[in-house]
Amino acid sequence: MRRTSPVCQVDPGGMWAVTRYEDVLFVMKNPGLFSSEGFKVAWQPPWVGYNPFANSMLAMDPPAHTRLRGLIHRAFGAATVARIEPRLRAVATELTNRLVEEADFVEAFGHPLPAFAIGEILGLDHALHAKFKRWADDIVSITPELPSPEDAQRVRTTLAELTGYLMEVIAKRRRAPVDDTVSDLVRAELDGQRLTDAEIVEFLVTLLIGGLETTTHLLSNSLLFLADHPDMMERLHAEPGLISLFIEEMLRYDGPVQTLPRIATADVVLSGVTVPRGALVLPIVASANRDEARFKDPDRFDLHRGSQGGLHFGHGVHFCIGAALARMEARVALEAVIARFERVERVPHELRYNRTLTVRGPITLPLRFIPARRTGQQVS
């Protein structure tokens, strides 16, 4: 597509796919021409009904987006990342105990770690971690195409259940505030007015989905790569200082974010093709990050490539506010796994990936974990 049809209509629904780096970057840099209300079109089709995720700041443009974004800087700021890192590191070490011989990495580690982090930040009940994943999986599975009646009902039930739970949390914080993000949002004022319960729910759903699903997939994609490339596992085991470089290249090479839907607000020409006003535009981030015109030998995993220019966290006004948190979580997770295990191996199993427009990762990931040999120093 990049070579012959870099901007073209695709199924489902005749969306306009954009595949070249420069075009994807142009879409992200110009919110006036490409509205983020594309998220609402993609995530709130008629069969869904109300979806708080589709009505959040992700689906807003400046200036409304700018005002709301300022309210959640504390939630994902440097101080929060530094505050939870020691606890997250202890949890990561503990979770490696679940990776005994053969285990499903997603269930045993890839989901519980980011669920703990997001639960800590939002002040949500850690006993609900399993529900976090089900809620996130169902919401990101939404597409404009009508699914089976059973799938449609499951998604609508999930939205009602999640919204009801968060409304209960908000009501409790209004009665008795504590030191957490929900209480901060309850107290926050925007242009002299408090946020409504619906606005807070939309915030919380965005933070829950954005902080959970993507990090789980990043960790799973990383472990799958290490299982297929034991030489890289051996290198990181010998030089843990390279783990941060590994994460940056993994984000480009096989990152969790695939697309960022937009709506064209006017007729726009991209790569010689006119995208009509009102069209649902699908800039394919995963393709941009493998564009031969931007990255030399893009299908080769290069630890020392550097992250400059990668679009995995978006760009401009919608640059991912949780980027620092995601990087820290991935680093802490991989440091714990690589310190504990000499290598990981695939086991006979058909890999199934989630079916979404926006993110990608395995639903389950059974792997075999071979402990590191203990020499002199004890591996923690």
Q: At residue 159, what is the residue type?
A: L
Distance (Å, whole) CA 60 – CA 289: 25
Taking the chain, what is the end-to-end CA distance rounded to the nearest angstrom? 47
Residue 272 has pLDDT above 90, yes or no: yes
Mean pLDDT for the chain overall:
86
* Range of weakest confidence among 91-105, 127-141, 274-288: 127-141
Q: Which CATH number fits domain 57-254+296-371: 3.40.109.10, 1.10.20.10, 1.20.1060.10, 1.10.630.10?
A: 1.10.630.10
Higher-pLDDT residue of 181 and 151 is 151
pLDDT at 235: 96
Across 45-50, average pLDDT: 86
The confidence band for 314, taking pLDDT boundaries of 50, 70 and 90, is low
Higher-pLDDT residue of 93 and 324 is 93
Distance (Å, whole) CA 346 – CA 198: 44
Burial of 240 (0-12, 13-18, 19+ CB in 10 A): middle
Distance (Å, whole) CA 31 – CA 315: 11
* Closest by Cα among 97, 37, 130, 28 to 336: 97
Residue 112 · residue 103 · CB < 8 Å: no
Return the residue matching tokens 């242009």.
191
pLDDT at 300: 95
Across 180-195, average pLDDT: 76
pLDDT at 5: 96
Q: Please compute, for residue 165, the number of CA atoms within 13 A of its CA located in the half-sphere on the CB side.
A: 15
Residue 31 · residue 299 · CB < 8 Å: no
Across 37-55, average pLDDT: 80
The confidence band for 110, taking pLDDT boundaries of 50, 70 and 90, is very high
Residue 221 · residue 254 · CB < 8 Å: yes
pLDDT at 101: 85
| pTM for the structure as a whole | 0.86
Distance (Å, whole) CA 334 – CA 330: 6
User: CA torsion angle for 109, 113, 119, 121 (degrees, to 10)?
Assistant: -170
The dihedral through the CA atoms of 58, 251, 379, 95 has a sign that is: positive
Peptide bond into 86 cis (omega under 30): no
pLDDT at 378: 42
Residue 376 has pLDDT above 50, yes or no: no
* Closest by Cα among 344, 367, 119, 327 to 215: 327
- β-pair partners for 343: 370
pLDDT at 11: 83
* Closest by Cα among 88, 82, 40 to 64: 40
In three-state form (DSSP H/G/I as H, E/B as E, the rest C), the secondary structure along 12-75 is: CCCEEEECCHHHHHHHHHCCCCEECCHHHHHHCCCCCCCCHHHHCHHHCCCCHHHHHHHCCHHH
The confidence band for 217, taking pLDDT boundaries of 50, 70 and 90, is very high
Q: How many CB atoms lie within 10 A of CB 345?
A: 14
Across 313-329, average pLDDT: 75
Q: What are phi and psi of 310, to 5 degrees?
A: -65, 145
State the DSSP code for 276: P
Q: At residue 9, what is the residue type?
A: Q
Q: Please compute, for residue 287, the number of CA atoms within 13 A of its CA located in the half-sphere on the CB side.
A: 21
Element (H, E) at 97: none
In three-state form (DSSP H/G/I as H, E/B as E, the rest C), the secondary structure along 176-233 is: CCCCCHHHHHHHCEECCEECCHHHHHHHHHHHHHHHHHHHHHHHHHHHHHHHHCHHHH
Higher-pLDDT residue of 25 and 189 is 25
Residue 357: both structure tokens together: 């427009």
Across 204-229, average pLDDT: 90
Burial of 150 (0-12, 13-18, 19+ CB in 10 A): exposed
The confidence band for 17, taking pLDDT boundaries of 50, 70 and 90, is very high
Helix (H, G, I), strand (E, B) or coil at 239: coil
**pLDDT above 90 covers what percent of the chain?**
50
Helix (H, G, I), strand (E, B) or coil at 327: helix
The residue extents of the domains of the chain are: 57-254+296-371
